[in-house]
Amino acid sequence: MVIDDRGTRSLGASLSQVPWMKFRVIAEPNMDLFASDIRLRSFISEVTKLTVSMVTKECSEEIAVLVTTLMASLSNSMTTRVSLLQETIIEQIAALKLADTMTGCHTLHGIEDRFCVGPIRQREPIHTPVESPKHVQGEHDHGTHGLSLYLHDHHLDISKANWIWTNEAAHRKPGHPLLARPFRKVIKTEWAVNRLSITMACDNRYTLYVNGHLVGSGEVWKTPDRYTVEFEATTEVVVAVYAASEDITGTAVGLIACGKVWNTHEQHAREILFVSDGSWKTHSSSNLEKTFFHAHFKDSTWEQAYVVATYGGAAWSSEMKGAHKGKLVHKRWTGRSNIPDAPESPKAKVIA
């Protein structure tokens, strides 16, 4: 900075005339000239480039560390999963029976390939869950029977079910009056379901309802009936059966069923299986409560179903035939003067 001495002396002389005043000189930069200085602009540009370079380098280093840590974690997780899967596969292979390996194959869930080729595929594979079935408590489920959860498709097997009736079956004798009794099974789930498949038979007649809607009827116990019903998604499914026995010459009377519920909107649908057993509810009375099949019917005063026999036991020792599509009904039955007709209700949406 260059200061003119003459101007300074003149200014000093002027200020000396007012000794009672104090003066302060304030210098302000000319920002226009300052900003247009080429050297300054070049300096700021270099500083900016250096700063960006340093920040970019630090960010890249931090990201590299995070990616490395994440990949290591994923690698450890995959190693653990693969190890568990290998152990499961080995356990399942060890559990296979020689007869099954000779004539068919098991599906080892968790992997897509099936260990069977060529003519072996002529036999339908047996589906075995990776995990043991997780028990899911139903409203009327007692002990470990009633409901089971499977994470993979599982074919219905009526041989796992039981013949059930009211406690009257324990003391029935030839010539006993004809019976018509209601049965209910409430299936509660932790997630919404919208499909039910059921295979069932009755000695002698039945009418089936699902969630308050009429599904079908049957009367040939040696050939079970099969139905698949579609309904609005819900976490509570009510299976109701109006069953009747017309056999007055023997003691055989019973109902048998197995089924599953699931949600068709799930990519890997979880299925809840159920069978006829002591968890079902029934009522030993000839005074039929005509709303028993409704979803909100209260059956808390009803008795637990009586297990007459397991599949193939008692009067049903002869083998049952394969299930076929059940008979859809458009009106109630029975047409018998001494057996009340099944209650009227809207028809269910039966899709198979």
103: domain range? Answer: 96-122
- Amino acid present at 217: S
- 3 state DSSP class of 203: strand
84-111 pLDDT tens trace: 787 777 766 766 544 344 333 344 444 4
Are residues 311 and 326 part of one domain? yes
Indicate which CATH number applies to the domain containing 282. Answer: 2.60.120.260
Tell me: the pLDDT tens digits for 299-314? 999 999 999 999 998 8
DSSP-derived 3-state class of residue 151 = coil
DSSP-derived secondary structure for 101-127:
HHH--EEETTSS--S--GGGGGSPPEE
Do 164 and 228 belong together in one domain?
yes
Residues 126-158 have pLDDT tens digits of 333 333 333 333 333 333 345 665 544 457 899
228 and 111 together in one domain: no
Burial of 29 (0-12, 13-18, 19+ CB in 10 A): exposed
Can you give the pTM of this predicted structure?
0.58
Domain match, 71 and 204 both:
no
- Residue 314 backbone class (left: φ over 0; alpha: ψ -120 to 50; beta: rest): left
Domain count, the chain: 3
Same structural domain for residues 100 and 88?
no
Instruction: Tell me: do 76 and 100 sit in the same domain.
Output: no
Q: What is residue 40's predicted lDDT score, i.e. its pLDDT?
A: 78
Residue 17 within a domain: no
Q: Is residue 85 domain-resident?
A: yes
Pairing of strands 324-325, 225-245: parallel
Pair 100, 193 in one domain: no
Over the stretch 197-215, which tens digit does the pLDDT of each residue have?
999 999 888 999 999 999 9
